[in-house]
Amino acid sequence: MQTAFIIDAIRSPSGRIKPGGAFTELHPTELLSQVLQQLIQRNGIDPGEVGDVITGCVSQSGEQSATPGRVAWLAAGFPEHVPATTIDRKCGSSQQAIAFGAQGIMAGVHDIVIACGVESMSRVPMGSARMDRNPFGPSYTTRYGAQISQGAAAERVAAKWGLTREDLDRYAARSHQLAAQAAGSGHFAREIVPIRTAAGTVDRDETIRADSNAEKLGQLKPSFADDRLRERFPEIEDWRVTAGNSSQMVDGAAAVLLVSERMAARLGLKPRARFVAFDVRGDDPMMMLTAPIASSRAVLAKAGLDAGQVDAFEINEAFASVPLAWRKELQVDIERLNPRGGAIALGHPLGASGARLTTTLLNHLESQGLRYGLQSMCEAGGMANSMIIERL
């Protein structure tokens, strides 16, 4: 079995979806194609040798409906014979793309795979693929009742694990402060690639609020409380999830270059990390955001490691309650959890977020001389995928 290596991992800056945001006028094809171009160029590989381009994208409608990885590859001017496919495992889509790409290399099917993701949430809003239709059907509804929003699920998680509004706001402020420190220290320089737009070149995240603090966040009103939900979930006495302690919707793209051991040797490429273990599993869809707990435990068991042996964790900050509940269960030091901030500060471009986490995690391990990193993503429908990488 071939070993699959990470050779490089890059991302675009995070662009706000509000009018005037960095990428609101940029077609998602152009956003991803520029990331792909820079991944190929900075590693000096022949694009014609890429075996597959596996792309995460959640809202596959409108401008993201034509197999976005394939379109972006061709828009970048790369060879037509290289194929692409699109993965939708909701927020974990590009993380799943990485897993599938690595597994394809391990199986001997490919020697070079690009796993990537894109989401233009300003141009293709979240939920637009539903076309105002019910995607669940009568049998699912009979089993679970009316589907709840992710925000309501975040409230349920906070209530179950006894997380206060102050806990959530302090954690959210921490995310911005850590991200601001990382940006100010140049720690994002290796992972962010500049993106050209009609207005100029964008080379930094738009989403970090360095002046964020728990007191300011505490002034925001809960986003998901209404009479219907209060009646449905009486266990939630205090509604506490706000826009400030939730991830930001953004435009973004990320890409990871995966190469087999034999191809790395042939091309003289220096591996930056290897894959230790993968896991994917489901949990209660009405809690929705709790599967990273079980999945992280499972991937640690597969790797033969315990949490104390892992140097850094990237647990996606879809909502502050997600990593905080996860931490209560895994008993991990806060310093090892999302050490450069997370989606609350850096944004959550759905299909690109898994590859973004890998990019940030890898660069953190390298800059600090650390060995093992674990990342996990909560996903709609009550799923999660997790993986452990080892820096080389």
Give the catalytic positions in this structure.
91, 348, 378
Pair of tokens at residue 229: 């939900």
For the CA atoms of 246, 386, 341, 166, the dihedral, rounded to the nearest 10 degrees, stands at: 40
Please list, in sequence order, all residues whose beta carbon lies within 8 angstroms of the beta carbon of residue 14, skipping any fewer than 6 positions away: 205, 206, 207, 248, 250, 251, 252, 346, 347, 349
Q: Distance between CA 75 and CA 307 in Å, rounded?
A: 43
Closest CA to 337 of 292, 385, 381: 292
Handedness of CA 81, 7, 183, 384 (dihedral sign): positive
